[in-house]
Chain A
């Protein structure tokens, strides 16, 4: 369980995190979604006690991070892929972290096996690909078999196979009853991985609801219509109260269902060459969500 209360972090006059209040619950994967620069990494660092909040609090398992007795047994974190010394072997990287929390060499071998790095454990981590570094980061996070897992952009730099692997692993860890908090700037990835989403934009909370709810609310359907009489149809649609945009060979209609657009065209005797409804992509939905952050804040915050 992670609880943030009015959490804020200012760097000079820049508000990196601005009054975030949210809870991350155990047993599900919670996505932390926002465009780059929205304050996700800063929030992660505040949770980990690496940065001091300017105001507000964040608790992990009911305590401040600094008050955790053996942090690796309570929280595992996959921070940025750079959080290791490139000159050290994967094995020694994990060993020094394990030793600091009194974890034995046997567990180091276990987590190396778990992430599939046993073969290359003695190689310098600096020579690893981005994907191997992500795996090493995950191995470090799992050293203490922690009930809380934080992952900052874990799929960055992974190939499709790696993405599938990490998605499966995160879902399995959550199913075991752990709290899993994963940040990403990719809505499509979060839609597949996360059960619940906390969406941020410019350091502020945009949405806090289940993934399906957020996708439904953020997705406004539109109707695509192709006609030789563009001008006349556009006038007719606007007269009926629809929002119409012109694309090179079609009109994009919002605010009227597909059937209504067809009926309207028939009444005006306008020929239709094509008529279909378009579902926005998840990325479009996400863009809209974070761009119009003010509108959605009032609607979705606390909606769960």
Chain B
């Protein structure tokens, strides 16, 4: 047995090493490429050029704003829903689960085509405004936020918490905001971080609705400036890392189960 498991482990290490090489070489090469200022000359030229570009700050701030709106709207919609489904309406659970995994069947490219078709009759301030984009991002965030909330609600005894709060005279809004939400902190935070990562990198819907999100800006830069695009890719990767480390930290602190999965771009 010992010999067998040692052999598997050696095989395993080989696989892990090969896999890591595939994943780390492009990152290292991109970092090196972004520092290239000429043949065999290196410097931070591309980075300073990018940061000075006003479109960089505008697109980054714009995507960040979209992410915040998306997180707030999605949480306001889903926290009460997930709570009531757990507490009182278990028969609605399949319906809610179906609706929240539906975005996997309707990828961003399809959803944006549907939104553009369906809301064509609406006034220009809405049809051409970023609220329609946020509306789409909220739908994209549904699966991740619902899974995270669902796992969080499973981990705490919401029946006892609710009854205890109510017998002490708490109203429904108080129960939800001051008893349930604080107990869901880790899953709320990890849902927020994952949504942040998704929206900060979202390209498809932004491009088709003709907004310069951060990813659309990277694409524009890449059409003329290869090193600049590499530098922006490194920055984008760093943003994803920070968001994922955030999930890991809140998950570990409270000991919750990690719920996350990749998304289609």
Mutual binders A and B: no
Binding site for A on B (CB under 8 A): none
